[in-house]
Amino acid sequence: MPEESLQFTVSASLFKQLGEQIAPTPSLALLELVKNAFDADATKIEIMIQTNRLPLRADLLFKPTEGGHMVITDNGRGMSSQELNEWVRFAPSEKKSGRKQQPTKLNRSAVGGKGLGKLATTRLGRWIELTSSDGSTTTQIGFDWQDFDGRSLTEVPIKRERKAVAEARGTSIIIHPIYAYDWDNLTFKQDFRERLQPFINSSFQVTLSVNGRQIPLKLTAPVKSRPVTLEQVWQKMTLPLMDEVIAFWESNQMLRSDSSLQERARQVVFLIRDGVTQKIVGLSTAGLVNFKQLNNNTFYLYRSIILPEYRHPGLADKLTIETRNCLENFNRTVGENKAIGILVFVENLKLQQFRREAIWRSSRMAYIGMDKSGRHIRVYYFKGARI
């Protein structure tokens, strides 16, 4: 009896894992979609994120059942029905092959890799609905990332509709429901903003809004010639100072709406001011927390922010060291509920990537692990601390 022939199959869940590795953060996932629009000669791409509302569209392929969606729209050349057939294929990137290396009509060199954009959407939400028009045909396709579990790749269903009336050139992607993530988080906005800078210019504009509020994306040049001053305000916060700090946070969209602004303002340790205008351009805060993973001991939770245009070399380290010294000196005067050190969750991706010393030399903050969100956790113990 002849043996049954075997053949290789590919698990669809493998491609979900690839997408998570390609885009480990939502900002990187969105960046891949921006690259696709750039390569399609778009002159603008709009990203709209609504964290609670259902998408109000009658032509959706998947009926919305819960809140939260995003829409990414560009005015690029769009894709024909045949090109969309190629879009759903997983194949080596033609952008890197010799026959595709010619500049685009707008004289752009391709920056994205074929397939990376659609793979990256696994980091953003469940249902992916793409509508594209090349000026003569308009085609809509959709798929469900949950359908990639427990199937081979060829078994994943793809919905498709072809519209008789052509729309304006371009591509629109609706993702719903989006995954639970703090889309209004300062770290997400800063990271996305910094990664966009090589692409933004007069011929390619990117806009981002979160819950109807537009997020500034263009970085201003560092104010290198303008001095800054550090002002210690720990335990000295007056009502006018608190109002000034809150205005700084609100004008730069730095805190979530459910944050207790007054309570956070009382935790300010140092202010950084523009040496000419005296406006606040950065600050550090510290609030007492009990950290379960370290024997439920009490620490000062350290946070800091400096406006991008004032991030002079060494200023962040100086702010950390001055705050550390201030808190350690103050802690010696505390009777009950004394802290044993300073705790910081490192959200800045560049610090995570390039400052990988086990103990930072200047601030002596020691790495002790990561939390569930991938943030590095560092601790500085006060002299004589006991656990």
Last residue of a domain, one of 215, 237, 265: 215
With respect to residue 132, please indicate whether it lies within any of the assigned structural domains: yes
* Residue pLDDT, tens place only, 51-106: 989 998 888 999 998 889 999 999 999 988 888 888 887 765 554 444 445 678 88
- Same domain, yes or no: 67 and 207: yes
Residue identified by tokens 């024909």 is: 80
- Number of structural domains the chain divides into: 2
> Do 193 and 322 belong together in one domain?
no
In a domain, 3, yes or no: no
- For position 256, what pLDDT does the model report? 58
Contact predicate 177/126, CB 8 Å: yes
Q: What is the pLDDT of residue 91?
A: 65
User: Given this model, what pLDDT does residue 99 score?
Assistant: 45
Tell me the pTM: 0.61
Q: How many CB atoms lie within 10 A of CB 233?
A: 18
* CA separation for the pair 26, 70 (Å, rounded): 12
Token reading at 132: 């594209």
Structure-token pair, residue 359 = 């103990």
Residues 198 and 102 in one domain: yes
Give the model's pLDDT for residue 96.
47
Question: What pLDDT digit, counting tens, does each position of 114-145 carry?
Answer: 667 889 999 999 999 999 998 888 999 999 99
What is the domain-level CATH number for residue 36? 3.30.565.10
Residue-range definition of the domain harbouring residue 347:
228-381
C-alpha 214/C-alpha 102 separation (Å) is: 35
Same structural domain, 197 and 308: no
Check which CATH number belongs to the domain holding 327 and give it: 3.40.630.30
Looking at the fold, whether 149 and 255 belong to one and the same domain comes out as no
Q: What is the per-residue pLDDT for 143? A: 94
Query: Strands across the sheet with 170-178, in order?
Result: 159-163, 138-144, 125-133, 170-178, 69-74, 44-50, 205-210, 213-215
Same domain, 238 and 158: no
Looking at the structure, do residues 198 and 268 belong to the same domain, yes or no? Answer: no
Q: Are residues 204 and 248 in the same domain?
A: no
Whole-angstrom distance, CA of residue 350 vs CA of residue 24: 14
Please tell me whether residues 263 and 356 are part of one structural domain: yes
Angle, CA 44 vertex, CA 43 and CA 49 arms, to 5°: 165
**What is 183-236 written as a DSSP string?**
TT-HHHHHHHHHHHTTT-BTTBEEEEEETTEEEP-PPPPP-TTS-EEEEE-TT-
- Residues of the chain falling short of pLDDT 50: 95-100, 258
Together in a domain, 20 and 155: yes
Q: Are residue 170 and residue 235 in the same domain, yes or no?
A: no
What pLDDT does residue 82 have? 81
| 353 and 277 within one domain | yes
